[in-house]
Amino acid sequence: MNKISKIGVLTGGGDCPGLNAVIRAITKKAISIYDIEVYGFLDGFKGLVNNNYIKLDLLRVSGIGHLGGTILGTTNRDNPFEFYSIKNGIEFKSDQSDQAIENMKKLGLDALIVIGGDGSLNIALKFYEKGVNIIGVPKTIDNDLMCTDVTFGFNTAVNTASDAIDKLHTTAESHHRVMILEVMGRYAGWIALHAGISGGADVILIPEIQYEAEYIINKIRSRYEKNKKFSIIVIAEGATGKNQDMAIQKVVDNSHDPIRLGGIGNRLAKEIEELTDIETRVTVLGHLQRGGSPVPYDRILSTRYGVAAVKSVVDQKYGNMVSLQGTEIVNIPITEAVKDIKRVEPNSHLVESARSLGISFGDR
């Protein structure tokens, strides 16, 4: 096997607690164990196209493991295969992947580690198919990537959402209100499900189970009859009522995942207030779930992913993503990981456990 001497790393898509811990682990292991130079591209794939990078050394990554965000910057807009530019005031898209590959060659990179979710890993796969030595690291607070038990960042998001439910409980109880907490979760309801169970929500609404307002109101009323004059509803941003569309806040054209969701909580609140006389208030947790320090679980998982990604480069297991399976970190082809989205299984033990406690999913 050829000796690896230089690698690149980038963070793509929405940021996520634990990104810095991955960058730190990659840099430390590469430099200290294998004497490999590490280059970090700035603002995701945009830095790869524009040849915008920094050299990472032990000093640069020292003390960043507990920090949220990413020292490399990120974007969910720039796809080198449909790269957005403006010339003479005219906006256009062009394939800049060859330019990106040229930049990597000039720098003498032997491999590129892409830390990203579904969108970024799809782009990484295209580069792999064009001959670039790619290793993926699974990132997203949504936990909706296939072929890994958990993505890093998810547990931190659940922690934040669960804490928010605890806080909403006390005010909901004092005011005898219905409190709706809208959490992230575009196509999968993992955050809503985990935070809802952990925080003791009365209703959990997720994209995988369509709800009907009538069932939710029945649940609220039955609590009222038992002198529980408040209810907590956790709703994923991608959840929908029966025969309803997703609540889209805006569409960002030059993004590889152009839909920005938001507003489902308010839509449901309106329905509840129209059908009952109970005041219903909405909290949209938004990007608070993505920011801040990673919880210890995510710091450890990120560290393991970073360390494993460097080993995969050294072993030349290109085209793979490091993944958590049980207690082990293994390599899984990126092609498998991006085939579909990992959704909550409506008949799973977790959903059934929630139902056993009386939590409603708004479907019966």
Question: What is the β-pairing status of strands 53-56 and 178-183?
Answer: unpaired
Which residue, 20 or 289, has its beta carbon nearer to ligand F6P?
289
Q: Which residue in the block uniquely carries the two structure tokens 């000796």?
A: 3
- Least distance in Å: CB of 256 to ligand F6P? 11
Measure CA 97 to chain center: 25
Catalytic residue (one of 15, 110, 142, 298): 142
Beta-bridged to residue 203, according to DSSP, are 233, 360
Binding residues for ligand F6P (CB under 6 A): 14, 76, 117, 140-142, 184-186, 237, 260-261, 290
Q: Is 148 annotated as a binding residue?
A: no
Residues found in the chain? 364
Q: How far is CA 88 from CA 85, 91, 92, 246, in A?
A: 10, 9, 11, 37
Phi then psi for residue 22, to 5 deg, are -70, -45
89/245 Cα distance (integer angstroms): 35
Structure tokens at 184: 């992230």
Which residue, 244 or 254, has its beta carbon nearer to ligand F6P?
254
Q: Is 221 annotated as a binding residue?
A: no
Q: Is 15 annotated as a binding residue?
A: no
216/227 Cα distance (integer angstroms): 17
- Least distance in Å: CB of 124 to ligand F6P? 16
166 is catalytic: no
- Least distance in Å: CB of 66 to ligand F6P? 21
**203 Cβ contact list (under 8 Å, min separation 6):** 216, 219, 220, 231, 232, 233, 234, 359, 360, 361, 362
Provide the 3-class DSSP secondary structure of residue 278: coil
Which residue, 12 or 65, has its beta carbon nearer to ligand F6P?
12
Q: Is 146 annotated as a binding residue?
A: no
- Least distance in Å: CB of 259 to ligand F6P? 8
The CA-CA-CA angle for residues 71, 72, 74, to 5°, reads 115
Question: What is the β-pairing status of strands 203-205 and 231-236?
Answer: parallel
Q: Is 7 annotated as a binding residue?
A: no
Q: Is 96 annotated as a binding residue?
A: no
Name the residue with the smallest CB distance to ligand F6P.
184
Which residue, 160 or 280, has its beta carbon nearer to ligand F6P?
160
Which residue, 80 or 117, has its beta carbon nearer to ligand F6P?
117
- Least distance in Å: CB of 153 to ligand F6P? 9
99/85 Cα distance (integer angstroms): 14
Active site residues: 142
**Known binding positions:** 14, 77-78, 117-120, 140-142, 177, 184-186, 237, 281, 287-290
**Known binding positions for substrate:** 140-142, 177, 184-186, 237, 281, 287-290
